[in-house]
Structure 1
Amino acid sequence: MYKILFILLSFTFFSVSSAQNIVLTGEVINPITNEGLHEATVKVLNAANDSVLASTKAKLNMIVEERNGNSTGYLDKNSGAVFNLRISSSFQDVVLIVSASGYDSVKKNIRIDSEKKRIDVGTINLLPVMKQRNLNEATVTATKIKMYYKGDTLVYNADAFNILKNESLRKLVQQLPNTKIEEGVIYVNGKAIESLLFSGKDFFNGNIDAALDRLPAYIVSKVKVYDKQGELSELTGRDMHDKQYVMDVHLKREYLGTWMAKLEADVATEKLWGGQGFLMRMDDRQMLSIDADVNNFNEERKMVDIGNMVNSYPTGIHKNKVANIEYYFEPNNTWRFSSNASVQQKEQKTHSWTNTETFLAPDNLMAKNKTFVSDKNTRVNAYAALRARQTKKWQSKLKFDFTFDNMRHAQDALTLAFWKRGNQDWHAWEVDSIWNNVTRLSSDDMLYTLLNPTLQKQKTFTYKPEWKTSLVLGGNPFNIDLQVNHNNVQNDLYNNYKLDYLSTQDNDHRRIYNNHTEHNTTVDATIDYGYKYFKNDKYDGVFTPYIAFNHTYGNLSHPYYRLERMQEWSDALDWTKGSLGILPDGEWQAICFDNENSYYSKEKKQTGSVGMRLSHKLTGLKRGNIQFDADLGAVLQYKHLDYQRNEQSYDIDRHAYSFRPTLTMEYRSNGKHKWSPELRLNYTGKQQLPDLLNMLQIEDYADPLNLFRGNASLQGEYAHRLALRYGISQRKTRHDMYLSLQYTRTHNNIVASSIYNTENGGRIYEMVNTNRTHEANGDVGYSLPLDKNQRFYITLSVRGNYRQNADMSQLSAATEKGGLLQQYGVTPNAILRGTVGNKFRFSSRWNTAFSTIKQSSMDTHYRETRLAADFSWDLPWKLQLASDFCANIYNGFADASINKAHCQWNASLARRFLSDQLSVKLIANGILTPKNNIYSSINATSRVESYTDILPRYFMLSVVYSLDWTQKSKRNTK
């Protein structure tokens, strides 16, 4: 009986399902002009008997504008002509036919997925018939449309931008209007891109920098920017409010399935050299990328650009060796496999000279430092992830990441310290000059000298397995996420510490050896259930209760040895870096063991969270949609530390209950009006317990100039953050404006309080709480084209920042604590980009940072101006000329040698041969002056000014050979 009832119920269910309808949607455009084809005919046929199931006409979007009380409308040709067809889900195979007068028809076979309510067939390109196509090409070549809106999607036409043959995707993205790249993040209209996709797939596993540098720009057809539904929405077939703001790169059809390869050799003056190899294949389902590079001219490169505009210079002189292989395979909606393996070795040598001024009353503490660093780091990384959809309503993902780091750090440092009492002649001397003449100075002039070479060897093993599964129950997703992170650290540290005073203070000479091991394991587990509680044409909501747990356990063994206690062995060695890495013979451990500074610790941290996430949309508004998001979680934090030092044990634990709310309101225009605004308001509250090491009742004298004292009364801090972002776009004229504001108030902010000793320049510091920390910053920008054809774009912006906190630095324990320290600045910025014809492209940038530090005893004003420009020019006879110029102008810095203009000019000339497969390039780097790096920073407590050497002026010859085999074979076949 039960079996018969079950069969009847199943039959009823599938009968109802078969009666459901599916909507086929898409757009029709002319790919030559990028204009939508209004009234194009769209038909759907039954593949079995060619009977017509449905037909319609593609329609352009109607734009309505109001001027002086009157409404006018026009069809937006810059967006695609959209069509929607409704058919029964009982058909499995259908044929889509799109036609228009004067255009070649397109026929497309479509497989119907009955689980979906809507199928997007994408963009249908209708080409004019051959005769008309030639005429159209002759008339529209000079007026290619750079960007347009297709509904809520911003589309850039890559062919409309001036891209040279050997340039990477990064060069294309940098030219896109209203787009910038900062610290590996792409911003469009001031909004950060969360993922960079290729035809909807994340081929590079979230590594935006790798995608920008490896892919050549000339194979790109379009770049789309839009909000993409997340995996939960795809799995459930319902909007689960998990959209991401993405940039989706679409390749030209002729390059899908093409093997692309490149070989490069570089040779330069100053004994500089490089070599590079690259192999790549990408299609709709998979991507394989292999690259290798070796060079010693400070570049970590994937693909080499013709004109490389340098925005910031690395420090030191680098030698880089890297090999990388990446594979991605997604044959269907069921399986997705991604993997990566890389080996990299970096060698760095850096000379730097630093002036540091610590703000104290009545005298500031000055320090001059000269440092030479030699580093050699090797990293091996392997990553693999497999996602499988066991059924149409259940998917799981397994991921494993392994990293091995082998680091060797050698440093030779010399420091001189003195109190600033007037301007002495020797203040402007180099560090070596003062060191050589230090015996001629009195104790009133010089406080101390410190010779401090260091050698460190460290090996780190990191393992990161992860399992995540999502199961649709009742049409809603149930998710489990489990992650483990385990690492082992093996560290050997040698340190010579030779501190000499010119006063009556006792000198301090130490030879230190520390061999410590560290183990850390973190386990994160999260369970949540997303319930779609309401949905109609006006309202849409998702309610997600969740439970999360974090457990971290770590132990550290830190034996500390004072090797100078073996006096005879120690006296036989000098104090320079040449004596590092040497240990005494025999039974030295017991003699040299420093019980006071050796310690062993075990720390456990646990965090449990219970809460709910709420997301509610109002979709029935006339001008747009409003979405409210809230994360309301109750959190229990627990920390326990077992610490042993100097034959004493310390057992300390802390716990705290807190409420961590995150509230967001976001408004988005529907894009049907002249101006399209977006507004986002956000509040976040977060509590954090203090580091238990800072609460121990100990005094650490391992560093004679920086003595640490614990503070048992230290409390946890709670940060409140408010953020606002407003953006508005005029889609017809391409005018865009944005405003971004953030404010942070930290209650019980944990900061370092310092008491300086006037006799020896050392300090005693401990972590304390303060309620005087406030921070605010904002950014406003406006971007617009300067001509009708959008060949020239200008972006104007102003950035401001303000920070205040209590002055926690004292000259002595008897000195009254300082007042309020304030730091604020304003930075106007202007960017001009343009193209002249199809051959010449340029960009220029100006900004000046005006900064002020206000203290109770003094105000400090300084500014830094940056001017930069670059261009690339495609000349006759297949010549390509490119150049970039950058100037930094400093004013108001303590070191007079910095207060001037520092200019950098580079240029290159390239010639292409063999149907553009071979390129020979001559590069001149540092034409005016050699590269250098000047670092300057002023905050509430100190001023730091540093000069670092980088590369000398050099001239380089590069030979690049590239080809794509698939296209070559196609041409031979034809």
Structure 2
Amino acid sequence: MTFFKKIVIFVIFSQLFSLKGVTQGIIVQGIVRDAFDNRGLENAHVKILNSDSNVVALVTTEIPYTVIHSEGAVKKNKNPNSGAFFECIVPKNGSYTAVVSMMGYKTKRVLFHVPQDYGKKLEIGDIYLFQEQKALEEVTVAATKLKIYHSGDTLVYNADAFVLDKQNVLEDLVKMLPGVELRDGRVFANGRFVESIIISGKDVMPSDPMQLMKMLPAYIVDKLKFYDQQGEKSKTMGKDMHDASYVMDVYLKRDYHAAWLGNAQAGGGTQKRWEGLGFIMRFDDRQFFTISADANNIGRERENTDICTIESAYDDRDLTNHQLNLNYSYHPTDKLRFDVNGVARRQDTEFGVKEKQKLDLSNSTDIYKLYSKTSNKINDYYRGGMSMTLRPRKGLYGKLMYSFKYGKDTEESKGYSITSLRDINISDSVWLQIGQMQATVPTGITNIYKDSVLSLRHAYEHKAETEWHLALGGNLLKFKIDYDMHGDNGNINQRYINRVFEDEETEAKRKSLHDTQIKDVATTMQLEYNINYIEDSSKRGILTPYYTFIHKKAHDYRELVLFEPQNDGSEVSHIDVDNSRRIKEKSETHTLGLYWIHEMQLHRKGWVCFNGQMPIHIKDVSVQLIHETASNRQHKQYILLSPTLEMKWYPKADDRKGSITSLNLKGWCNQTTPKEIYLLNQTDTSDPLNTYMGNPELRKQTDLGLSLGFRHYFERNKHNTYATFGSTNTWNAIAIQSIYDKQNGTRTLMPVNVDGKYNISLECGYGMPLASNQTCWLNLSAGANYTRCANMMFDNSNNQGFDYMKLYGYRVKANLRWNNTSRNVEVAYTVASNGNGIISNADSNEKLQELTNSLSITSHLPAGINASVNCNFISRFGFEMKTLNRTFIFTDAHISKSIYKEKVELSLSAIDIFHQRKHVQFVMNGEGHIETMATQYIPAYVLASIRFNWSLSSKKKR
């Protein structure tokens, strides 16, 4: 071999080895898309910078193609919907920045980190570029902002893509998000429950985040992100321990970071209505502080409610509400965090009603009833707490927490009821005199009951908790102690007269005084050890044995003093020996269990995760009833089993968390014991209309359940769907049997075991954008449930027992939202149908239905004027009492104008224009029929308000 050939071979091998050395780095892949239409952007420049801002890679994006052979020519067929891909190599682990740029688009910088021992390939997900704004003849033309997109495992909503004004709060913004619902004050995203709410990646929200949702201004929010957040175990171990929770992350705009901001609002209107609001907040990298005040008498407490959930917003009683909230969180480093929060609230509720009703009962004699009641209730509530979280070193976590609650209720009420078997045509004034026992009773009256009640109640609660995690090699030790003490002290002063007209007129008069003292103390200790028995790139297994000990003690003391009226007007007092009592309860529960998680990757079929739990509870219960003359004691021992087995399948290979597609199957068994007080052999006749009896023969209840869930997100067209199915079968169901005596209107209540109960439920939903720019969204959802159980209410006049009845319900809902920021208009239309039915073997069937149409229009008009109208058209029918079947319209209107550089806002609101709001109170007898219906209309009103928004930045933002 010549010298020249040797040189050539040496050069070739040198190049080969040098190339091999280059590929020893980590491959980084990503996709670049247009934020407007989601199409791939080809020939975009991607520059990778290391932590020293030095360029380590420079590539351009390319749309993948397929080769087509046609008529002897080779063509490349490119699909922009697949995105434009790029791939490059970084030399080692560490932090990097991807700078993505393209003509006509804003440059975007994406930070990413390659951890130690990561592997050979890292995907940083989709990168969206927004078009640059172009000025043409002093008119700004901007691309429509993308409302919703996925970034890896995170669902992202762009807050600026929705029509908002300065008066909107975070709750209003959440209601606008496609696929997101508020149900009973809880947030659901595509049917999935949001477990907690955090701010800008920091878990600094208060203990009552829903209160902050009512106060936090929406205009300071940049994005809302939904994702699975690592739990404390994972943070301690530095790897996934399967303790993630689904969160809503409220990212604030950079301009409001490290700034003081707030607002104040005051208003007054017709019907003597007034309101006042105040809010101050500061958030930065180390601290979070909020203080809010709310005082109003606008007829209801400010509630989180969906557009079609009218009951909580319109059926509350007329009340005056005062509330003060304080939250502070301090986290100077990752090693220390301190939180404190407090709430003070007073609510004054007034209620007054007088109605005459004809009870249209099938298979029964018609009954006419006059019902009158007035009441005033004042509730004082205080809550506070503090916690400290410590991470002194890697692999060690500790938490100390204390909280308290205190409540005081004062209520004074007066009422009476008159029952008749025929309609007596007399004036209302005579009816009132009869109810006050000041007139001759006409023929046909069967019963008159009158009472006055003055009650005072104090309740308190103290909780203390400490929890520690310690990483031991590849395993984790957890230790936790809880201490919980709560009490309830109260007295009730009641005077009643019960006059019954049978063959002979009988009358009972009594004045009673209840003094009640309840105190419960519970101590819980838990110890668990997480063993990582297998862990590699395709498998993960955790085995957790644990032990829990719970010790409970309770003391329930009640003294009942009776004042018997005498003919001379005097009163003789004595203690009611049969109903005065002292109850002592004690229980100890030992739980030994095993928790198992196993996650593995299937060949080309994604990931599957199994988890199961097998606890064995040994519970010892002792309860003692002490009377003045006798005592009764019950002692029970139970062995309870509560196994659970669940399988989660994520079909996509690169979707380990199941954010795109998931299938969930779960089965469980749960055994519960009766309440200790149920086991006492006692008869309580302190309530003249309700006699309570204990049942020492009660057995434990067993529930067997099965659930199936499916969720899928269509990445290409942004559609999403979910469906859940659940079934529960109950043995020895613990229920309260109610026997109704039609002659005197009294009930006898007793806990019993009932077999043959089961429940089936189904829920599904589908969401889709109706426009490529996502300005219009359609969301569909439906749910149904079916329950078979025993009818525990029956009439003892014909000696019949309870029969089985079937309860069913359904809901169908469609929501259409059109939101156009360029035209400053948002329109939302919702139609919902809800139904509930009762099918009984021994009684008439009842089918209740409700149809709701809701229309909301919000528009930003010229000259800084904002206008909105909310109209809810509701039809309810199927009630056995015909007077409850009705159609009504709830309509609110609002107009506002911003002045003084949008810092001051003047507004005018008209609430319930057609005067439809009311509170309805039902009383049902032992047969399940509506015996009394009381209605109080809440006044409609017009409210004028002024609002001031301010912000103060501590430094200039770039």
User: What TM-score does the superposition give when structure 1 sets the normalisation length?
Assistant: 0.85
Give the match for residue 954 of structure 1. 941
Asked if 1 retains the 8 angstrom alpha-carbon contact of 2:148 and 2:155, the reply is: yes
Give the match for residue 11 of structure 1. none
Q: Matched residues in 2 for 1:184 and 1:305: separation?
A: 9
Asked if 2 retains the 8 angstrom alpha-carbon contact of 1:63 and 1:672, the reply is: no
Length, aligned pairs only: 916
Q: Matched residues in 2 for 1:393 and 1:653: separation?
A: 45
Q: Matched residues in 2 for 1:803 and 1:51: separation?
A: 66
The alignment status of 1:657 with 2:639, answered yes or no, reads yes
Give the match for residue 43 of structure 1. 48
Give the match for residue 380 of structure 1. 382
- The Cα shift of 1:765 comes to 2.7
Unaligned runs of 5+ in 2: 1-23, 67-75
* Aligned AA (1:384): M
The alignment status of 1:473 with 2:472, answered yes or no, reads yes
| Secondary structure in 2 matching 1:869 | strand
Query: Which 10-residue stretch deviates more, 904-913 or 562-571?
Result: 562-571
- The Cα shift of 1:594 comes to 1.7
Q: Matched residues in 2 for 1:603 and 1:910: separation?
A: 59
The alignment status of 1:873 with 2:872, answered yes or no, reads no
The alignment status of 1:732 with 2:709, answered yes or no, reads no
Match of 2:846 among 860, 871, 879: 860
* Aligned AA (1:298): G
- The Cα shift of 1:527 comes to 1.1
- The Cα shift of 1:715 comes to 1.2
| Inter-CA distance 78–639: structure 2 relative to 1 (3 Å threshold) | farther
Match runs of 1:260-275 below 5 Å: 260-275=261-276
Match runs of 1:402-413 below 5 Å: 402-413=404-415
Match of 1:965 among 918, 927, 952: 952
- The Cα shift of 1:712 comes to 2.3
* Aligned AA (1:141): A
Match runs of 1:353-372 below 5 Å: 369-372=371-374
- The Cα shift of 1:598 comes to 0.6
User: Which deviations, in whole Å up to 9, do the C-alpha atoms of 1:642-695 show, x marking residues without a partner?
Assistant: 211241111111121021012222223438799953222222321111123223
Q: Matched residues in 2 for 1:427 and 1:652: separation?
A: 56
Q: Matched residues in 1 for 2:663 and 2:428: separation?
A: 55
Query: Which 10-residue stretch deviates more, 188-197 or 834-843?
Result: 834-843
| Inter-CA distance 959–199: structure 2 relative to 1 (3 Å threshold) | same
Q: Matched residues in 2 for 1:309 and 1:920: separation?
A: 27
Asked if 2 retains the 8 angstrom alpha-carbon contact of 1:684 and 1:721, the reply is: yes
- The Cα shift of 1:892 comes to 2.8
User: Which deviations, in whole Å up to 9, do the C-alpha atoms of 1:568-613 show, x marking residues without a partner?
Assistant: 6656xxxxxxxxxxxxxxxx8xx42222211011111222211111
Match of 2:615 among 620, 628, 633: 633
- The Cα shift of 1:351 comes to 2.7
Q: Matched residues in 2 for 1:330 and 1:117: separation?
A: 33
Asked if 1 retains the 8 angstrom alpha-carbon contact of 2:321 and 2:347, the reply is: yes
Give the match for residue 3 of structure 1. none
| Inter-CA distance 115–652: structure 2 relative to 1 (3 Å threshold) | farther
Unaligned runs of 5+ in 1: 1-19, 65-70, 572-587
* Aligned AA (1:329): Y
Give the match for residue 348 of structure 1. 349
Match runs of 1:167-316 below 5 Å: 167-205=168-206, 207-301=208-302, 312-316=313-317
| Inter-CA distance 641–88: structure 2 relative to 1 (3 Å threshold) | same
Match of 2:662 among 655, 674, 678: 678
- The Cα shift of 1:364 comes to 8.6
| Inter-CA distance 946–152: structure 2 relative to 1 (3 Å threshold) | farther
| Secondary structure in 1 matching 2:211 | helix
Q: Matched residues in 1 for 2:84 and 2:336: separation?
A: 34
* Aligned AA (2:904): L
Asked if 2 retains the 8 angstrom alpha-carbon contact of 1:27 and 1:82, the reply is: no
* Aligned AA (2:575): F
Asked if 2 retains the 8 angstrom alpha-carbon contact of 1:664 and 1:681, the reply is: yes
| Secondary structure in 2 matching 1:145 | coil
| Secondary structure in 1 matching 2:883 | coil
Question: Identity percentage over the alignment?
Answer: 23
The alignment status of 1:595 with 2:595, answered yes or no, reads no
| Inter-CA distance 654–308: structure 2 relative to 1 (3 Å threshold) | closer
| Inter-CA distance 300–27: structure 2 relative to 1 (3 Å threshold) | farther
Q: Matched residues in 2 for 1:286 and 1:79: separation?
A: 41
- The Cα shift of 1:300 comes to 3.8
Match runs of 1:336-735 below 5 Å: 336-352=337-353, 369-417=371-419, 424=423, 432=432, 435=435, 445-503=444-502, 504=504, 506-564=506-564, 591-670=573-652, 676-735=660-719
Give the match for residue 917 of structure 1. 903
Q: Matched residues in 1 for 2:667 and 2:305: separation?
A: 43
Query: Which 10-residue stretch deviates more, 114-123 or 880-889?
Result: 114-123
- The Cα shift of 1:940 comes to 10
Match of 2:887 among 901, 913, 918: 901
Asked if 1 retains the 8 angstrom alpha-carbon contact of 2:182 and 2:306, the reply is: no
* Aligned AA (1:447): T
| Inter-CA distance 939–649: structure 2 relative to 1 (3 Å threshold) | closer
Query: Which 10-residue stretch deviates more, 280-289 or 665-674?
Result: 665-674
Asked if 2 retains the 8 angstrom alpha-carbon contact of 1:307 and 1:884, the reply is: no
| Secondary structure in 2 matching 1:173 | helix
- The Cα shift of 1:549 comes to 1.7
Asked if 2 retains the 8 angstrom alpha-carbon contact of 1:79 and 1:148, the reply is: no
| Secondary structure in 2 matching 1:315 | coil
Give the match for residue 822 of structure 1. 806
- The Cα shift of 1:936 comes to 6.9
| Inter-CA distance 776–373: structure 2 relative to 1 (3 Å threshold) | farther
- The Cα shift of 1:495 comes to 1.0
Give the match for residue 14 of structure 1. none
| Inter-CA distance 521–158: structure 2 relative to 1 (3 Å threshold) | same
Query: Which 10-residue stretch deviates more, 854-863 or 517-526?
Result: 854-863
* Aligned AA (1:907): A
- The Cα shift of 1:327 comes to 0.9
Query: Which 10-residue stretch deviates more, 817-826 or 397-406?
Result: 817-826
- The Cα shift of 1:356 comes to 11
Asked if 2 retains the 8 angstrom alpha-carbon contact of 1:794 and 1:831, the reply is: yes
Q: Matched residues in 2 for 1:62 and 1:155: separation?
A: 26
Asked if 2 retains the 8 angstrom alpha-carbon contact of 1:740 and 1:778, the reply is: yes
| Inter-CA distance 607–360: structure 2 relative to 1 (3 Å threshold) | farther
Give the match for residue 851 of structure 1. 836
* Aligned AA (1:723): S
Q: Matched residues in 1 for 2:84 and 2:221: separation?
A: 19
Q: Matched residues in 2 for 1:277 and 1:533: separation?
A: 54
Asked if 1 retains the 8 angstrom alpha-carbon contact of 2:919 and 2:938, the reply is: no
- The Cα shift of 1:564 comes to 2.6
User: Which deviations, in whole Å up to 9, do the C-alpha atoms of 1:429-478 show, x marking residues without a partner?
Assistant: 998598489977777x4432211221111222221111111111112221
| Inter-CA distance 156–121: structure 2 relative to 1 (3 Å threshold) | same
Query: Which 10-residue stretch deviates more, 98-107 or 513-522?
Result: 98-107
Q: Matched residues in 1 for 2:795 and 2:879: separation?
A: 24
Q: Matched residues in 2 for 1:742 and 1:308: separation?
A: 24
* Aligned AA (1:460): A
Let me know the Cα RMSD of the aligned residues: 4.2
Give the match for residue 582 of structure 1. none
Give the match for residue 8 of structure 2. none
User: Which deviations, in whole Å up to 9, do the C-alpha atoms of 1:728-777 show, x marking residues without a partner?
Assistant: 33222222222222222211111222333343232323221110222222
| Inter-CA distance 965–551: structure 2 relative to 1 (3 Å threshold) | same
Q: Matched residues in 1 for 2:305 and 2:794: separation?
A: 52
Asked if 2 retains the 8 angstrom alpha-carbon contact of 1:360 and 1:809, the reply is: no
Asked if 2 retains the 8 angstrom alpha-carbon contact of 1:117 and 1:237, the reply is: no
| Inter-CA distance 835–906: structure 2 relative to 1 (3 Å threshold) | same
Match of 2:874 among 882, 885, 888: 888
* Aligned AA (1:906): D
Q: Matched residues in 1 for 2:65 and 2:180: separation?
A: 25
